[in-house]
A and B are shown apart, each in its own frame.
Chain A
Amino acid sequence: MLNNKLLLILMLGFSLISPANANSDLPVLSGVGGNFTAVDMYNKPMQLNDYKGKVVILGFGYTNCADVCPFTLGYLKQLYEQLPKFAQDKLQIMFVTVDPEYDTPEHLNQFITHFNPNFVGLTGSRAQIDHIVQLFKARYTQIGGDVDVENVRRVIHKKTTSAAEDKVRLYNHSVTLYLIDQDGETRHIGYTGTPKKEFTANILSLLEAPIKTENFRIKENSKNARSSAAYGEITNLSDTQDVLLSVSSSIAKKTELHETQIIDGFAKMVHQPNHRFKPGQVLTLKPMSYHIMFMGLHKPISDLSFVDVILKFKHAGDIPIRIDLER
């Protein structure tokens, strides 16, 4: 009996071994980036390796930057807000200052929190910052000499503690945003000119969608039919409950998740709004059970070779499915 159990555990163990989760086409940029140490905006030492398991977007700047830094952080704020909840949870945005003498952890915290409290600002010694800049093949140079602080347009004013802090330095610096995967490898570079849709797609390509859809099919039916149904399996791979908020397609007036229920001896198709998926739950869509219902077809299903459907989840966001027609 013990041997049977042991064997079962071993076999299950092997079946769970799988290659990399996310299947991104983005290449690793060899020699760009790597582990580094710094001090975060909570005044704690950190290293990039602490963030393994998360996708990281890393950029350089400084709090006295009057032009591109506020613009970049505004861009990243919008990008972050457009991501589904599961991706937000798996993403860390990092802003590395090139002016560590001025940008103390406390001041950096105020500056970064102004844009999004989930972002993290990094400072440290000049040697630490130069090492990070060198690792990412970035650059920065100081522009001219010190400038009176009143002459600088700033997002956040620093609470100065000495007269010396009333003089600030201005810098030119790289505008690149580095997209780093869950293993700490740089996979792409972007900047504020990168369309947000493209940047979002690149981030999502590095993350495994927490909802898996498989074996979806739609049957060809009569030319005159005004409705049709699709079947398949939906699995919640995450460890949190998710909710299917809506189903949409362009082939029908209405697309919804339905369940066939026997009510008073009659089979009725009942709309299932906000269907909940427990962690690990598999929902099998099949005849006389759950199904995706297309009502008010714009054209006969038989005229199509496939149907594109989007499942909108509360946490997982939009999950697209291409359903082939079964003839």
Chain B
Amino acid sequence: MLRYLCLLLCSFGLYSTSVNALVEYNPIHQKYQQVKNYAKTINQVATVVMGYYADLLKHQSSYAGNYPKNIKALQIIGAELSEVSNDSELQSQTTFTLTAQLSYLEQQKLKTQQIQEAFIFKLNQNGALNQVERLQQAPNAKIVDFEFNANHYLNRQFAYSWLLLLDGHNAAHLNIFDDSNANYQIVIGANRFSGHAREALEKRKNWMGSGGHLLRSVNVIKALDNNLQLELIIDWKGIATNNKWRIAKIKQVIDIQKSDQAIYKITNINEQHLLPDIAPWEKILC
């Protein structure tokens, strides 16, 4: 009998080994890992850069000496994420190169400048910013709309850090938002569920097991005193719990109360899944 039990356990072992091997070498799984890593990198570095420019526009930046004084607005017009590479200390690093136009007041005259700078990150140190290098600088650029102010960057800093949380990464150390009292309503096709933010996120994993969220747009729907309502449009790719490759176009409407410490206290999140933009003709009516 013991012999049969051993054989039985062996057959279980062999089966689970082959399934694990299948998951490991499955091309869908490999694709999902690439998406997950890419989204994490983008959201990590973008959170830092948005916070960096928000500080600059609030005149609270330790790097202010590298920029004109009294900056009124800054608009990012180009961004490029270089390949992740290893430096001599075997620390993974990546470079985010941004081109921006800025408007500033000098002797009561509005002046403009175009800059290009590289943000160098150590990814294995929680995405810490290691260095900022000025690559180019030229005067006489276009005047930047004043809507590209500190709040514009604070909203995006919040959005990118929120996506890190959605992907299951710890964002608490960033101290950007607080979701401890947030309600979350989610509609995925015929499925509707709601609850406390963290509980709803757990249930959400049944449809969106693991993957990467990428921000497409942030719109301010309402901004009154400390109350803010943002609409985020997000693309998601990943695998569901049934091991199928899955994509989503997500609309989230998020209600926020800004605290005195500039922390975004989330009160409510409303999420709907839209038809992903995979065909240019999909909105045609005949």
Does A173 sit at the interface, judged by CB under 8 A? yes
Q: Does A264 contact B (CB under 8 A)?
A: no
| Contacting pair A25 B286 (CB below 8 A) | no
Given A68-B286, A141-B285, A191-B281, A30 and B248 touching (CB < 8 A)?
Answer: yes
Among A30, A34, A193, the most chain B Cβ lie within 10 Å of the Cβ of A30
In the complex, are the beta carbons of A135 and B190 less than 8 A apart? Answer: yes
In contact, A30 and B284 (Cβ under 8 angstroms): no
Which residues of the partner chain B approach A32 to less than 8 Å between Cβ atoms?
A: 189, 273, 275-276
Knowing A3-B4, A137-B275, A189-B282, say if A30 contacts B236 (CB, 8 Å): yes
Mark each residue of chain B from 50 to 93: 1 if its CB lies under 8 Å from any CB of chain A, else 0.
00000000000000000000000000000000000000000000
A169 to chain B minimum Cβ distance, whole angstroms, is 15
- Identify the stretch in B11-19, B169-177, B254-262 within 8 Å (CB) of chain A at 4 or more residues: B11-19
A144 CB-CB contact with B under 8 Å:
no
- A228 in the interface (beta carbon within 8 A): no
For the complex, give the distance between the alpha carbons of A29 and B189 in Å: 10
Among A9-17, A75-83, A159-167, A317-325, the stretch that binds chain B is: A9-17
Taking a contact as CB atoms under 8 Å apart, the answer to whether A25 and B243 are in contact is no
The chain A residue with its CB closest to the CB of B274 is A137
Q: Pick the contact of A30 from B28, B207, B242, B286 — CB < 8 Å?
A: B207
Closest B residue to A34 using CB positions: B190
Q: Report the count of interface residues on B (CB-CB < 8 A).
A: 40
Q: Mark B258-285, 1 if CB is under 8 A from A, else 0.
A: 0000000000000011111011011011
- With contact pairs A20-B244, A28-B245 given, residues A175 and B281 touching in the complex (Cβ less than 8 Å): yes
Residue of A nearest to B11 (CB): A11
Answer whether residue B187 sits at the interface, using C-beta atoms and an 8 A cutoff.
yes
Nearest chain B CB to A34 CB, angstrom units: 3
Q: Is B237 engaged at the interface, CB distance under 8 Å to the other chain?
A: yes
Query: Which residues of the other chain, B, contact A188 by a CB distance below 8 angstroms?
Result: 278
**A51: CB under 8 A from chain B?**
no
In angstroms, Cα B278 to Cα A185, docked, is: 16
The smallest C-beta distance from B218 to any residue of chain A, in angstroms, reads 21
For A145, what are the chain B residues with a Cβ–Cβ distance below 8 Å?
none
Question: Residues of B contacting A189 with CB < 8 Å?
Answer: 275, 278-279, 282
Whole-angstrom distance between the alpha carbons of A28 and B284 in the complex? 22
Whether A19 is near chain B, meaning CB under 8 Å from some CB there, is yes
Minimum CB–CB distance for B159 against chain A, Å: 20
Let me know if B22 is at the binding interface, CB within 8 A: yes
Tell which of A14, A31, A33 touches B187, judged by Cβ atoms closer than 8 Å. A31
- B281 neighbours in A (Cβ, 8 Å): 175, 191, 193
In chain A, positions 1-55 with a C-beta closer than 8 Å to chain B are: 3-4, 7, 10-11, 14-15, 17, 19-20, 25-36
Main SS at interface, chain B? mixed
Q: Please name all residues of chain B whose beta carbon is closer than 8 Å to the beta carbon of A172 when the two chains form the complex.
A: 285-286
Asked if B198 CB lies within 8 Å of chain A CBs, one says no
Question: Which B residues lie within 8 Å of A190 (CB)?
Answer: 279
* Complex interface: chain B residues within 8 A of A10 (CB): 8, 11
Given the known inter-chain contacts A7-B8, A10-B8, A34-B189, please indicate yes or no for A29 contacting B247, CB distance below 8 A.
yes
B274 pairs with A31, CB closer than 8 A: yes
> Is B7 close to A, CB under 8 A?
yes
* Bound complex: CA A191 to CA B191 (Å): 26
Are A176 and B282 in contact, with the CB atoms below 8 A? yes
- Whether A140 contacts B285 by the Cβ 8 Å rule is yes
Question: Once bound together, how far apart are the Cα atoms of A117 and B65, in whole Å?
Answer: 77
Closest Cβ of chain B to A40, distance in Å, is 19
Complex Cα distance, B284 from A173, in Å, reads: 8
Please, how many angstroms separate the alpha-carbon atoms of A241 and B274 in the complex?
44
Chain B, 4-52, CB within 8 A of any chain A CB? 4, 7-8, 11-12, 15, 19, 22, 28
User: Would you call B285 and A14 a contact (CB within 8 A)?
Assistant: no
A175 to B284, CA, bound (A): 7
User: What residues on B are CB-neighbors of A139 within 8 Å?
Assistant: 285
Asked if A248 CB lies within 8 Å of chain B CBs, one says: no
Across the interface, B1 reaches (CB within 8 A) one of A3, A20, A140, namely: A3
Q: How far is the CA of A31 from the CA of B250 in the complex (A)?
A: 9
B129 contacts across to A, CB distance below 8 A? none
Asked whether, in the complex, the Cβ of A173 is within 8 Å of the Cβ of B285, the reply is yes
A174 to B282, CA, bound (A): 8
B246 is an interface residue with CB less than 8 A from chain A: yes
**Chain B minimum-CB-distance residue to A131:** B190
Most buried by B among A31, A174, A190: A31
Known contacts A20-B244, A183-B242, A185-B244; is A174 also within 8 Å of B189 by CB? no
Q: How long is the Cα–Cα vector from A10 to B7 in the complex, in angstroms?
A: 11
Known: A14-B15, A30-B247, A137-B274. 11 other contacts (CB 8 A): A11-B11, A17-B15, A20-B242, A28-B247, A29-B278, A32-B189, A172-B285, A175-B281, A176-B282, A189-B279, A193-B281
> Can you report 18 A-B residue pairs in the complex whose CB atoms are below 8 A from each other?
A7-B7, A10-B8, A11-B8, A25-B28, A29-B248, A29-B276, A30-B250, A31-B189, A32-B273, A32-B275, A32-B276, A67-B286, A140-B285, A174-B282, A174-B285, A175-B284, A189-B282, A191-B281
3 closest A-B pairs by beta carbon, nearest first, are A31-B273, A34-B190, A30-B248
Chain A positions near chain B (C-beta within 8 angstroms): 3-4, 7, 10-11, 14-15, 17, 19-20, 25-36, 67-68, 135, 137, 139-141, 172-176, 183, 185, 188-191, 193
